[in-house]
Amino acid sequence: MVSCAITAVGTATPPGVDHEDLWNGFFAGHFAGSRIAGRIFSGAGVRRRHTVADPRHEDISGWTTAARMRRYAEQAPPLGHRAVTRALAGAGLAPEDVGLLTVASCTGYSTPGLDIELAASLGLRPDAQRLLVGHMGCYAALPALRGTADYVRTHRRPAVLLCLELTSLHLQPPTTDPQQVVCHALFGDAAAAVVLQPGPPGGGPGPAAAPGLGVVDTASLTDPSGRDEMTWTVTDHGFRMGLTARVPDILAKHVRPAVEDLLHRNGLALPDVAGWAVHPGGPRILDTVETELALPAEALGPSRAVLAELGNCSSPTVLLILDRLLRNGAPPPGSPVVAMAFGPGLTLCATLLRTTGPGGPPLTAPAGP
C-alpha cells in the first residue's frame, strides 16, 4: 500500500487580544461581575486568544444566527486562504498539484461553501475533489486527516486538509450558566492547514524525506452515555455549546485503553511514544490525560503552550500542536507521535504518526483496521 505523510503545515489567525483584557473589557460586565466567572476565566490556562469579533468593540451576543453566518462567510475564506497558501508553499507545491481539498468546520455554514470559495481563490484545478466535514467539533481534524490520507494513498496525489473555526461568532447572551462561562473563557479563532503527500509504492521515503509526519493509523472510541455532556446546538442566537464537568471523568475511563489498543496493534507501547499532541479542551482535560497515561509533565508542554497562546480553537487545535512539534524540534526520524482529540459523542479520536526525514526508516502503511 502507498504511504502518506504530512509534509507541511500552514496556520493563520485573526487579530489577538490579551485574555485578561477580554475579561476586564467585556466579560466581567457580561457576567455581571460574578466571582465564579472570574475564577473560571483566571483558571482557564489561557493568556491570549484571537478573534474575528472582539467583544470589547463589538458585542454580537444579541445577533441572529443569520447575521453570524454572514460574518462567517466574510471572514472564513480569506483566513483559510492564508493558511492553505502557507502550507502549499511549505511543501513546495502549486494549487494545481492538489487532488483533494478537505475542509473541516463546525462554526459556520453557507452554500456555496467554504470549500468552493477556497477552490476558486486558490486556483485549484476544476477536477479537484472536495470534502466538507461539518459539526464534528473539536476532534474533527483526526477523522478528516484519516479520510484525506486514504485519498492520498489510493490516488497518489497530494491533498490539503484545512480546519477552520470562528468560535467568537457564537458569543451567547448574558447568563449565569457556568458551562457558558467555561466556553467563553476557553475558545479562540484559528485556521490550520496540512499538506499530505504520497510516498512511492513499497513505502520508500519519497517526498516525506523532508521533516514531516507519516500517517500510520487512527482509532476512535465513542461512549454514547456521555452524549449529553458535550453538545453544540443551533439556536436563534448562534451555536450554543454545552460542556459539563463530567467530561474529564468520562474520558478518564477510556483514554488509556484506547491509546494502548492503537499502539499495541502497531507493535508499540506507551513508553515508545516520543511526542504527544493532545487537544487542550481545558486544563482538566490535559491533567486527566497526563494522569491516566502516566506521562511526564513535559510531555504535554506543547498542548499547554497552544492553550495559553491561542486558547481552545476547536478542530484546528491539534494541528496547531503538531505544527509546534515540528517547528520546535521534532523527535528523530521514525519516532512515534500520538495526536488525540475529543468531541461530541462523547468521542475520543487518536492518530498514530511517525516522524519522517533524512536517515529515517521508510514510511509504513496502517497496520490495523
Q: What are phi and psi of 208, to 5 degrees?
A: -80, 10
- Strands 238-243, 16-18: pairing is unpaired
Q: What is the pLDDT of residue 197?
A: 97
Q: How confident is the model at residue 3 (pLDDT cuts 50, 70, 90)?
A: confident
Residue of higher predicted confidence among 350 and 358: 350
Q: What is the pTM of this model?
A: 0.94
pLDDT of residue 360: 52
In whole angstroms, what is the distance from residue 137 CA to residue 313 CA?
10
Q: Residue 243 — pLDDT band, cuts 50, 70, 90?
A: confident
Q: pLDDT tens across 286-343, in order?
A: 999 999 999 998 999 999 999 999 999 999 999 999 999 998 878 999 999 999 999 9
Burial grade of 322 (CB within 10 A; 0-12, 13-18, 19 or more): buried
Q: CA of 279: how far to CAs of 36, 55, 100, 172, 300, in Å?
A: 25, 25, 25, 24, 10
Q: Is it the case that residue 204 has pLDDT exceeding 50?
A: no
Classify the C-alpha dihedral 348-291-264-270 as positive or negative: positive
